[in-house]
Amino acid sequence: MAYAITQTCCTDATCVSVCPVNCIHPTPEEPGFGAAELLHIDPVACIDCGACADACPVDAIFPVDRLAGSLAPYGELNRRYYEENPTDHQWGRPSFPTSLPDGFGTLRVAVVGTGPAAAYTAQQLLRTAGAEVVMIDRLPVAGGLLRHGVAPDHQSTKRIAEGFAQLYRHPRLRMHLNVEIGRDLTHAELAAHHHAVVYATGAAGERRLGVPGEQLPGVLGAGRAVGWYNADPTVPADAVELDGVRRAVVIGNGNVALDVARILLADPEELGGTDIADHALAALRCSGLREVVLLGRRGPGEAAYTRPEFLALRQLPGVSVVLDADSVPDGGGKAELLDGLPVERVDWSQPPPQGRRIVLAFEREAAEFTGTERVEAVRLAGGELIPAGLVVRAAGFQRQPVPDLPFDPAGAAVPHQGGRVAPGTYLAGWVKRGPTGGIGANRACAEETVAALLADAAAGLLTAPPGEPAEFDRLVRRRCPGATGLRELRAIDRAERALGAAGGRPRVKLATVPELLAVGRR
């Protein structure tokens, strides 16, 4: 019986590298890899060896005959991919990393960021170049998007962090946390102590809608909402106010919008077994929220969410999903995911019905947020008024300037070619390619950046730092007395896991910088 890849696929292609018959696609060398929602196993070519399931870092691969419940559709999804994208499973040309010239010495690289893109970059440098790597983060805890972005009910996706935890034990890796580049240290100082600097700082800026009333309390960006339930120490515990809120509107129809809607309505007792922030769990347990409206200006065929995420939304226990329309729209692609959903024209003047539900409202655009002391309603472009006590903008993220690097405001990007800003300065992850692709897409992205870095090293374009690595460590301690490192990070990890074990949870996250620093230094 063949295997199939299911919802939690992280697309990092670990499975591709171990498949003996090359039956998992798209591969990183194929054009569709960067935009793939998940990878697929050809049920005809699969030899049922199970190597992919053993290697998968997020346990997303199962025998087709064992798929049940919410995973049942994935056997057909895997099969249909090859019906629509036939392939002969021929092997691509092998590629090998650039070798450093004899006498080069040890390559020293600073990686700014500790999220997935930064971790994949560090892994590649340590494994293929024998480099010494120092990772730097503005927070006193590592993980980036993996810690503060992945929804708490996606615990299998977070298992990829276990591989990164092994990275942190590498003898050629050092880490400086609670250090911000541009505030505590400059790019020039980083460059002076390393052959190269790689920025993997993500895309933290949120797109605003530019409509009246956007400044009202109760209107917030998705990044703030996600940080609230993920214990981001830069987001206060009262960032999301649910008291008295019966209906919320989430503007956007990407995966982040679905995450926010799902967490707001999920059973708090189910979330109680995850690493959700304690303050968010307490608020959700007291919440009277009954309805979340997902407002999308595009039609269902052009929705930005992935099929796996939408299928998971339809399976949310105790939550119904309703389409606000006269009928289910025709069309293929993602529009077919709506088949079988209840359809009704919602009377927004009435309070939400009993129970919990998500309403899909496509081809609607917010024109104004109304209210006095806080938001009370969303007025649509056609004049329709949707009363709501909470509005979350999930209209996408955008890249922000990196201190001391060139920036194109029109394109909201640091100009680069294949991750190379200039010899010695590089980008990886969302700061490089924009906010597209899941966690695993950062692996191929990091490999491209490291290839550019090594090519510059081999061509003699990198300037060797004059001092020893210890000199940079002393500079950090002198400039940032509050900096922490791997020892403190491990102490935080132990403490959070211990707190979680006491309550039957994977971990209980410390939610403020003072808490993190106190536990790290204890």
Half-sphere exposure of 472 (CA within 13 A, CB side): 28
Alpha-carbon distance 322 to 345, whole Å? Answer: 10
Q: What is the pTM of this model?
A: 0.93
Can you tell me whether residue 190 is helix, strand or coil? helix
pLDDT for position 161: 85
Amino acid found at 290:
R
Q: What share of the chain is helix, strand, coil (3-state, %, to 5)?
A: 30, 20, 50
Q: Evaluate the CA torsion angle 328, 314, 65, 10 in order and state its sign.
A: positive
Q: 3-84 and 208-396 share one CATH topology?
A: no
Alpha-carbon distance 250 to 222, whole Å? Answer: 9
- In the CATH hierarchy, which fold is given to the domain comprising 3-84? Alpha-Beta Plaits (3.30.70)
Q: At what angle do helices 255-265 and 222-229 cross, to 10 degrees?
A: 50
The DSSP H or E segment spanning 119 is: helix 116-128
Q: Note the pLDDT tens digit of each residue in 322-331.
A: 999 988 887 7
pLDDT for position 277: 98
- Characterize the bridge pairing of strands 247-251 and 390-393: parallel
pLDDT for position 55: 94
Rounded average pLDDT per 10-residue block, the chain, 522 residues: 92 93 92 87 95 94 93 93 92 80 92 96 94 97 94 91 88 97 96 97 86 96 96 96 97 95 96 97 97 94 91 92 88 84 94 96 96 96 95 90 90 92 96 88 93 95 93 96 95 96 95 96 86
pLDDT for position 173: 97
Alpha-carbon distance 286 to 283, whole Å? Answer: 5
Q: Structure tokens of 2?
A: 């063949």
Alpha-carbon distance 147 to 158, whole Å? Answer: 8
Alpha-carbon distance 125 to 419, whole Å? Answer: 15
CATH architecture designation of domain 208-396: 3-Layer(bba) Sandwich (3.50)
pLDDT for position 480: 94
Q: Which residues pair with 319 in a beta bridge?
A: 356
Alpha-carbon distance 465 to 109, whole Å? Answer: 10
Largest CA distance in the chain: 76
Alpha-carbon distance 204 to 397, whole Å? Answer: 6
Alpha-carbon distance 90 to 288, whole Å? Answer: 55
pLDDT for position 438: 83
Alpha-carbon distance 334 to 510, whole Å? Answer: 39
pLDDT for position 204: 79
Alpha-carbon distance 369 to 92, whole Å? Answer: 53
Are the C-beta atoms of residues 248 and 389 closer than 8 Å to each other? yes
In the chain, where the domains are located:
3-84, 108-203+399-483, 208-396
Can you tell me whether residue 197 is helix, strand or coil? strand
Nearest alpha carbon to residue 316 among 355, 362, 367: 355
Q: Which residue has the tokens 């009954």?
A: 290
- The CATH superfamily of 108-203+399-483 is NAD(P)-binding Rossmann-like Domain (3.40.50.720)
Q: Structure tokens of 326?
A: 């006269």
The DSSP H or E segment spanning 295 is: strand 291-296
Q: Give how far Cα 159 sits from Cα of 145, 152, 378, 518, Å.
A: 13, 12, 38, 26
Q: Structure tokens of 353?
A: 């019905």
Amino acid found at 173:
L
Are the C-beta atoms of residues 322 and 342 closer than 8 Å to each other? yes
Q: Note the pLDDT tens digit of each residue in 174-201.
A: 999 999 999 999 999 999 999 999 999 9
Q: Structure tokens of 33?
A: 């890899």
